[in-house]
Structure 1
Amino acid sequence: MSVDGSAHAPRRMPTMRDVAEQASVSPMTVSRVLHEDPRVSSTTRDRVLAAVDALGYRRNEVARNLRLGSKSGLIGLVVTNLANPFYSQFALGVEAIAGANGLRVVLTNTDEDPERERVLVEELSARRIDGMIVVPSGADHSHLDPLAPGGVPVVLGARPPSGLPLDCVLVDDFGGARSATAALLAGGHTRVGFLGLPPSVWTSSERFRGFCVALEEAGVRLESRYVRVSQRTIPAAEEAARALLSLRRPPTALFCANSRNTLGAFRAMSQVAPSTALAGFDDFELADVLGVPLIVAAYDPRELGRTAMELLLRRMSDEDPPLEPRRIVVPATVVHYGG
């Protein structure tokens, strides 16, 4: 509101055309002045610069860099699900290192759609970004080839490359799931359920593999009726957990492949079988105040983001001969909450 109580609409950013009108010249003349064209007279230059100051006009440096073929100072970050808290923390890690190096991050979301990912990657490349960090949603990574026309340096996060020599930073999905499941089994449980994402998701398949190996090492047979692998949301996980806990011989413990499945399982347990033991992959806020014993395979998503950005800076250094691709695995540590 203004001093006299009237409302004002948000101020529109001035354009080059606005500057041209203010200075009574053409937009092309404004452009020539801003690009320090010596053919523009000093009188016209002074008039245009006065209009720039009066209007508070700022050049679109990204567009300017694109025209000049210069670096944009932008990094693309492509993730699969912004609703997942993991990705906000991952992005903060990327941004911390990017910002410290004078770069800005453009964040996009694929919603686990490989075709949408392909389109977003093409659009980012068309903007001549300096590099890209991608959490791939499918198994075909051909559109990420940095040697293709228009290609840029690429680092993969959370999932490894397929058919391309790309840098990547991963979580120890297998080892973390194996250790957390082993902790459940050490408590005497022989009927253990699994809640996870579809096996086509690399992280889910690795965590399921760790779960299975832990069962095998403890001499416990895997029962397919205790496995549910299609839950992407907390309500879906709650419904799947409720179905498992309502079986005639329900599992006495549940291992959940990510935090959304853990929270869904907790909701179902609190209503159906509160004595069920619970373990999950991914730490999350307030995990320590749920009021039940909880085992978590924990790691630092920001560390993943920081490491991914450091790998990208290394890849953007244009070393000759090309650097060998690196694969860095961040460990997962088993944490016990509650009683």
Structure 2
Amino acid sequence: MSRGYGTRPTMKDVAVEAGVGLKTVSRVVNGESGVASATAERVRAAIDRLGFRRNDSARLLRTGRTASIALLLEDIGDPFSSALSRAVEGVAAEHGCLLFTGSSAEDQRRERDLALAFCARRVDGLIVVPTGDDHRYLLPESAAGTPVVFLDRPAAAIEADAVLSDNAGGARTGVAHLIRHGHRRIGFIGDLARIHTSAERLRGYRRAMADAALPVDERWIDTGPTDAARVTAAVDRLTRGAAPVTALLTANNRITLAVLHHLPSDGPRPALVGFDDLELADLLTPGLTVVAQDPAALGAAAARTLFERLAGDTGAARRIEIPTRLIPRGSGEIGPRAG
């Protein structure tokens, strides 16, 4: 069939090409049931031949939905964030939705600007790994019908769905593991104290020490930015200073990497348990013992929660905690140094 130069094929063109009704084409394009497999295949073949693309502007006018959601991460380049993104994208694809992604870089203003920019572009829902300490700016969007799910950290100053790791429980398990291997002087190197995950992991550290009736010297705790200079200074102070420790719990993968770069490759070194797994961690000498999160489960749970809201769930805000897992590989099984 012929069309005018520069015109885009329509569903009517596809229907004529495939020899079916317009409603049949609509059902195939929108992933609806009720079309025989052979007929659906004929329609898809006609779509391919004509180069038909669904008109999402028309879809928006008809349904009020854009078939798109947005994910706002801390840093898309971080392996943990990348795994979250893949999991969310997988669930979105199951629902015929596109995923738009942005990085806040731990900047509260950028988080707000990106979140509102996504909403201005009429995404159907929003998943946020939050940086800010006040998320009331999202209340008008939520009231207008855009569901928001918080991932990895809870919202601040509003009630909203949150999907989190068991941060306190994971840290408690990691420290208890070190205690079982004879350590009594255990250091904690964490992220900024205001960050929910860092605060929860420090809480788990303290709980494990209390469970074992062990005192905590506040000099064993160091929190702050995750840059290498701060972390290496913390390692030196904790392992060689006035109150040296024999073991360390590092509270995220960036901190763990900085510590690994700084620890001596030979000679005495503290036992180490890292929170978050690392690629090739089992190839180190000794292998890195970690408290592993499950970013695939976290991302998938957040996406499913969002689509449940889009499907009409209006229940109270939910808090979902995904368990962590201790993986012993050697670094956390080193006994305390003599002396």
- Shorter-chain TM-score: which interval? 0.7 to 0.9
Alignment of 1:218 onto 2:212: yes
Q: Which of 153, 171, 185 is matched with 1:159 structurally?
A: 153
Secondary structure of 1:334's counterpart equals strand
Residues 109 and 273 from structure 1, CA distance in 2 versus in 1: closer, same or farther, beyond 3 angstroms? Answer: farther
Secondary structure of 2:289's counterpart equals strand
State the partner residue of 1:277. Answer: 271
Q: Which of 321, 330, 333 is matched with 2:322 structurally?
A: 330
Query: After the TM superposition, which residues 15-94 of structure 1 pair with which residues of structure 2 at under 5 Å, given as runs?
Result: 61-62=55-56, 65=59, 70-94=64-88
Between the aligned residues of both structures, percent identity stands at 34
Q: Deviations over 1:34-69 (max 9, x none)?
A: 799xxxxxxxxxxxxxxxxxxx99879455555667
Q: Deviations over 1:245-266 (max 9, x none)?
A: 2314421111101111112112
Asked if structure 2 preserves the Cα contact closer than 8 Å seen for 1:277 and 1:294, the reply is: no
State the partner residue of 1:258. Answer: 252
The whole-number CA distance in structure 2 between the counterparts of 1:65 and 1:107 is 22
State the partner residue of 1:300. Answer: 294
Secondary structure of 1:328's counterpart equals strand
Q: How many residues align?
A: 293
Asked if structure 2 preserves the Cα contact closer than 8 Å seen for 1:130 and 1:153, the reply is: yes
Name the amino acid aligned to 1:70: G
The whole-number CA distance in structure 2 between the counterparts of 1:83 and 1:235 is 21
Question: By how many angstroms is 1:324 displaced?
Answer: 2.6
The whole-number CA distance in structure 1 between the counterparts of 2:98 and 2:129 is 18
Structure 2 residues not aligned, in runs of 5+: 13-49, 334-339
Q: Which moved more, 1:118-127 or 1:294-303?
A: 294-303
Name the amino acid aligned to 2:328: H
Q: Which of 267, 275, 278 is matched with 2:261 structurally?
A: 267
Name the amino acid aligned to 1:100: E
Question: By how many angstroms is 1:295 displaced?
Answer: 2.8
The whole-number CA distance in structure 2 between the counterparts of 1:153 and 1:182 is 39
The whole-number CA distance in structure 1 between the counterparts of 2:101 and 2:285 is 36
The whole-number CA distance in structure 2 between the counterparts of 1:230 and 1:60 is 49
Q: TM-score, normalised by structure 2?
A: 0.78
Name the amino acid aligned to 2:179: L
Residues 67 and 274 from structure 1, CA distance in 2 versus in 1: closer, same or farther, beyond 3 angstroms? Answer: farther
Alignment of 1:100 onto 2:98: no
Q: Deviations over 1:254-310 (max 9, x none)?
A: 110111111211222225864310012111111112112543111210110011110
Alignment of 1:204 onto 2:198: yes
Q: Which moved more, 1:263-272 or 1:71-80?
A: 263-272
Asked if structure 2 preserves the Cα contact closer than 8 Å seen for 1:145 and 1:151, the reply is: no
The whole-number CA distance in structure 1 between the counterparts of 2:230 and 2:82 is 22
Residues 333 and 251 from structure 1, CA distance in 2 versus in 1: closer, same or farther, beyond 3 angstroms? Answer: same
Question: By how many angstroms is 1:77 displaced?
Answer: 0.2
Q: Which moved more, 1:142-151 or 1:77-86?
A: 142-151
Q: Calculate the aligned-residue CA RMSD, in Å.
A: 2.8
Q: Deviations over 1:210-261 (max 9, x none)?
A: 0011112222222222221113245542342233223144211111011111
Question: By how many angstroms is 1:80 displaced?
Answer: 1.4
The whole-number CA distance in structure 2 between the counterparts of 1:34 and 1:207 is 55
Question: By how many angstroms is 1:103 displaced?
Answer: 0.7
Q: TM-score, normalised by structure 1?
A: 0.78
Question: By how many angstroms is 1:171 displaced?
Answer: 0.3
Structure 1 residues not aligned, in runs of 5+: 1-18, 24-29, 37-55
Secondary structure of 2:159's counterpart equals coil
The whole-number CA distance in structure 1 between the counterparts of 2:117 and 2:56 is 14
The whole-number CA distance in structure 2 between the counterparts of 1:220 and 1:67 is 64
Question: By how many angstroms is 1:144 displaced?
Answer: 2.5
Residues 148 and 99 from structure 1, CA distance in 2 versus in 1: closer, same or farther, beyond 3 angstroms? Answer: closer
Q: Deviations over 1:121-151 (max 9, x none)?
A: 1111111101111111122111222665645
